[in-house]
Amino acid sequence: SPQSSLYFRIKMADKQRRTTIIRQVVFLLLFLCVWALGSGTVRYAVPEEMESGSFVANVAKDLGLDPKRLSARRARVVSEGSRQHFQLNSNTGNLFINEKLDREELCGQTDPCILHFEIILENPLQSYRAQVRVYDVNDHSPEFSDNELLLKMPESTPPGSRFPLANAQDLDVRNNSLQSYAISSTDHFRVYTRHRSDGRKYAELVLETPLDREEQAEISFMLTAIDGGSPARSGAAQVRITVLDINDNVPEFSQTLYRARVLENSEQDYVVLTVSATDSDEGINGAISYTFSQKSKKNVSSFTPPTCIGPVPPPAGMSSSFRLAALSDIILFTVFPLPPYSWIHFK
């Protein structure tokens, strides 16, 4: 009947459709298996700085290919990027370095440093993924950006104070990179190796003993950065510390007692004597001014205090008050720069 015929045709169409789908699935699975076999990644490793022409591996043996058919199938290597790092001998299947490999130039601080390429064959077309890991060698020394590191510290800086220093740079990675810092012999400081949040190592200077500018105004020593290679490489910079002055010293006279004789008819502007005081501090902290002590002023009303250059001017004429004060034959007073004092005897 027409209905039976229509049912049969629909059933046959469904069967053919299922058969087509099954065939497509089987074909896809076979394709994926072939692709997986043909595109498996082979991995090699070489140290950097190997010269052009250095042997890497025999890829024909590693991939199970017939070396005799490589040339006929136009076997070749294609690297990622514009540079061809490797070359393949299509007669033997040997893989060679095409140009000297510099890990730092190729990958910088990226680790591991991996170069990807493909091995391509034709008739039939096949492609194999491959990669070469370039291992670091210790071919760089740590370097400071400046040969001299300058610091300023007040002499009042307390022991235990910490001062981070500029870190050195090392282009190598892992154990070949910068590992520690050291300083040459110094009584005042120790150095510690610290880690920044990004993993870089820097030197931290710690003050161990008090500073004294008057004893040592400048401290110099060598800071050395050391890597972990074997043998180790290092770089150095000079650390120069200027110790800043604080007002921690008092002025001192050259002598504790000055003696001078003054005639009563001495004229004005006659220089009686010169006093001298020094201060170990520098700048404004070492500037000296002179004055008479408060209790001596009644005896020296006819005198002018010394100036910064030191002379004690004579009395402005021998006044009666001075003569009365001089009846004892000796006038005693003190001259002050700051806390210290010196006695001056006049006759």
Instruction: Return the pLDDT at 258.
Output: 77
Q: What is the pLDDT of residues 99-143, one digit of tens each?
A: 999 999 999 999 899 999 999 988 888 889 999 999 999 999 999
> What's the pLDDT score for residue 333?
45
Both 312 and 265 in a single domain? yes
Structure confidence at residue 22 (pLDDT): 53
Residue at a domain's end among 89, 106, 135: 135
The answer to the question of residue 46 being in a domain is yes
pLDDT at 248: 77
Last residue of a domain, one of 102, 135, 168: 135
- The average pLDDT across 37-50 equals 80
What pTM was estimated for this model as a whole?
A: 0.66
* Predicted pLDDT at 170: 95
The reply to whether 177 and 105 lie within a common domain is no
The reply to whether 157 and 237 lie within a common domain is yes
Give the pLDDT band (50/70/90) at residue 221. very high
Question: Does residue 28 fall inside a structural domain?
Answer: no
Percent of the chain past pLDDT 70, that is, above it, reads 72
| 159 and 238 housed in the same domain | yes
Residue 37: pLDDT above 50?
Answer: no
Structural domain includes residue 33: no
How far is it, in rounded angstroms, from Cα 73 to Cα 86? 19
Residue 269 domain boundaries: 252-346
Residue 190 maps to a domain:
yes
28: CB partners within 8 A, 6+ apart: none
313 and 295, same structural domain? yes
Is 141 contained in some domain? no
Confidence of residue 255 (pLDDT cuts 50, 70, 90): confident
Q: What is the pLDDT of residues 63-91, one digit of tens each?
A: 888 888 888 888 889 988 778 899 999 88
Higher pLDDT, 180 or 260: 180
Q: What is the pLDDT of residues 165-188, one digit of tens each?
A: 989 999 999 999 999 999 998 999
187-177-200 Cα angle (round to 5): 70
User: Which of 244, 265, 294 is the C-terminal boundary of a domain?
Assistant: 244
Question: What's the CATH number where 54 sits?
Answer: 2.60.40.60
Count structural domains, the chain: 3
- Residue keyed to tokens 């590693």: 62
Structural domain contains residue 7 = no
